[in-house]
Amino acid sequence: MQKVLNFSSKEKKQIIEVLKKFEEKKVNSQFEEKRVKIDDSTVTLYSSGKLMIQGKDCNKIAEELIRIIKVKSKTIVGIDETGRGELTGPFVITAVLGENKKLLELRDSKKTKNIKEKSKIASENSKCHIIFSLNSEYIDELREKGETMNSIEIKAINSITKFFDEIKETSEVLIDGSKLNGVKKGNFLVKGDDLEPVIGAASVISKRFRENSKDKKTRKSWKTKSVS
């Protein structure tokens, strides 16, 4: 059995201090920062902040580590997209409303194995998720009308935040990536899908939805317009 958690840079420093109290083991690669034995399990901390716990008591150890380092519980709206620059298939923008502590297993979908399993974790442990999916032919139609991939994403994000405002959901909105001018509400976080678990959940759900899409058509506008 194994359990994977992901921690921020600040939390990783706390984890290192906690792991110093246990029997140290030899690291197996340049990406491993620390490896220890806790009871019958092996705990490995990677430079990225990923923590892998392998052993029959992995869930118990994970809960204890989260308790010890006092991960602050907060509910967040995390937003991420996938398929922006792809030649084929849909452009998917997903928002997840969830508690960070319940989604610590999730991170950037590009670095995640077993998307099906992780998507299930994201769905089961979030309060709400909203998906905007635009198929390739519709993307071409919109781009012919003058829309860009940025303007499409901006409109989707504004619709998402408007919905949450209307239901009086006051949680902070965090959006993966660099700032997009025109977004009315929310803070942008570069590499947010790797730093904030709720954005990671949105990334995973987006990728899973795109993978399941039957739309495999080529975006014809890619040949005539710049990808933006």
Q: Do 106 and 147 belong to one domain?
A: yes
| Among 73, 167, 11, 184, residue whose Cα is nearest residue 175 | 184
Q: Rounded CA gap, 155 and 176, in Å?
A: 15
Strands (E), 55-189: 75-82, 91-99, 126-134, 172-176, 187-189
Q: Which amino acid is at 94?
A: T
Is 216 domain-assigned?
yes
Q: Do 6 and 86 belong to one domain?
A: no
Is 171 domain-assigned?
yes
Q: Do 138 and 199 belong to one domain?
A: yes
Query: According to the model, what pLDDT value does residue 108 have?
Result: 60
Long-range pairs, 210-215, Cβ under 8 A, ≥24:
210/82, 210/83, 210/89, 210/90, 210/92, 210/133, 211/115, 213/89, 213/90, 213/92, 213/133, 213/135, 215/88, 215/89, 215/90, 215/135, 215/136
CB 43 within 8 A of CB 36: yes
Q: Do 91 and 177 belong to one domain?
A: yes
pTM of the model: 0.83
Q: Do 108 and 203 belong to one domain?
A: yes
* 186-215 pLDDT per residue, tens: 999 998 888 889 999 999 999 999 999 999
* 154-179 pLDDT per residue, tens: 999 999 999 999 999 999 999 999 99
If you average pLDDT over every residue of the chain, what do you get?
Answer: 91
**Pairing outcome for strands 91-99 and 50-54:** unpaired
Is 99 domain-assigned?
yes
* 60-77 pLDDT per residue, tens: 999 888 888 887 889 999
Instruction: For residue 17, give both structure tokens.
Output: 């201090």
Q: Do 134 and 159 belong to one domain?
A: yes
**Pairing outcome for strands 32-38 and 23-24:** antiparallel
- Could you give the number of structural domains in the chain? 2
Is 228 domain-assigned?
no
Q: What's the CATH number where 174 sits?
A: 3.30.420.10
3 sits in which H/E element: strand 2-6
Has residue 227 got a pLDDT over 80?
no
Query: According to the model, what pLDDT value does residue 12 have?
Result: 86
Q: Do 162 and 198 belong to one domain?
A: yes
* 9-55 pLDDT per residue, tens: 778 888 999 999 999 999 989 999 999 999 999 999 998 888 999 99
Query: According to the model, what pLDDT value does residue 71 have?
Result: 78
51 sits in which H/E element: strand 50-54
Residue 34's domain comprises: 2-68
